[in-house]
Structure 1
């Protein structure tokens, strides 16, 4: 099955950001996109890959060392 191509508006909605942010990602070539004539489309899989690549795992912190008797 072919990958669905999203408009810039749809990509921005999925990311929870504004259209301007998505257009900046495209302009800086930080995300894979397709040009259909003069229109920009972003593949659903490319957006998923971008999200996975920029997901930050939580840091595991130990207990603080202050407050203990020496």
Structure 2
């Protein structure tokens, strides 16, 4: 049985451990939209619905910590189309 993403230690995430000092550790809304192939409006809607990855909001600026993005991506992984989505 595969290991759930929540049980994977953060230090084992390749993108986290491969960051060099000085690398950006956040994505802005447009960068994340481009990474996932969705529109920024979709991310805005998800935030209002409480969906999507955790985000930072400093004043009017929204950014997504890379660690939160990767955790969200891992939690969205599926092994089979027969898996049920937890609600």
- The two structures, once aligned, show a CA RMSD in angstroms of 2.1
Task: Name whichever of 51-60 and 14-23 sits farther off.
Answer: 51-60
Task: Name the structure with the higher helix share.
Answer: 2
Structure 2: gaps of 5 or more residues: 1-20, 83-87
TM-score (norm 1): 0.69
Distance 2:43 2:68 in 1: 13
CA 1:28/1:58 → structure 2, altered by over 3 Å: closer, same or farther? same
The whole-number CA distance in structure 1 between the counterparts of 2:71 and 2:24 is 13
Gaps of 5+ in 1: 61-70
Give the TM-score normalised by the residue count of structure 2: 0.58
Partner of 1:52: 74
- Kindly tell me the number of residue pairs found equivalent between the two proteins: 60
Partner of 1:12: 33
Larger radius of gyration: 1
